[in-house]
Amino acid sequence: MKRYELHKMTKRQVLESNFDKVIISVGSCECHGDHLPEGTDTFVSYKLACQVAEKYDDILVIPPITIGYSGHYDTFPFTLTLSYDTTILVLYDVIESILRNGIDKIIIINGHDGNIAPIEIASRKIKEKYENAKIAVLGEWWVTAGQLLPENTFEVWDGLGHGGEGESSIMYYLYPEYCDEEYATSVVPDNLPPHLDIKWDFSEITNTGQTGDATKANADKGKMMNDAIVQAVCEGIDYLNERNWDYKTNIK
pLDDT tens-place string over residues 13-71? 999 999 999 999 999 999 999 999 999 999 999 999 999 999 999 999 999 999 999 99
194: left (phi over 0), alpha (psi -120 to 50) or beta: beta
d(CA 49, CA 238): 15
Residue 172's SS3 state is helix
User: Does the pLDDT value for residue 101 go beyond 80?
Assistant: yes
pLDDT given at position 39 = 98
Task: Indicate whether this model's pTM tops 0.75.
Answer: yes
Please report how the helices 141-148 and 165-174 are oriented relative to each other, as an axis angle in degrees rounded to 10. 100
pLDDT given at position 170 = 98
User: Does the pLDDT value for residue 238 go beyond 90?
Assistant: yes
pLDDT given at position 249 = 84
45 CB-contact burial (10 Å; exposed 0-12 / middle 13-18 / buried 19+):
buried
Please report how the helices 219-242 and 40-53 are oriented relative to each other, as an axis angle in degrees rounded to 10. 50
User: Does the pLDDT value for residue 230 go beyond 80?
Assistant: yes
| Residues contacting residue 45 through CB under 8 Å, at least 6 positions apart | 25, 26, 27, 64, 109, 110, 111, 112, 141
Bridge-based pairing state of the strands 134-138 and 105-110: parallel
pLDDT band at 75 (very low <50, low <70, confident <90, very high): very high
User: Does the pLDDT value for residue 155 go beyond 90?
Assistant: yes
**Mean pLDDT for the stretch of residues 206-221:** 98
Question: Residue 238 is which amino acid?
Answer: D
- 158-210 pLDDT tens trace: 999 999 999 999 999 999 999 999 999 999 999 999 999 999 999 999 999 99
pLDDT given at position 151 = 93
The CA angle 181-153-225, to the nearest 5 degrees, is 70
User: Does the pLDDT value for residue 83 go beyond 90?
Assistant: yes
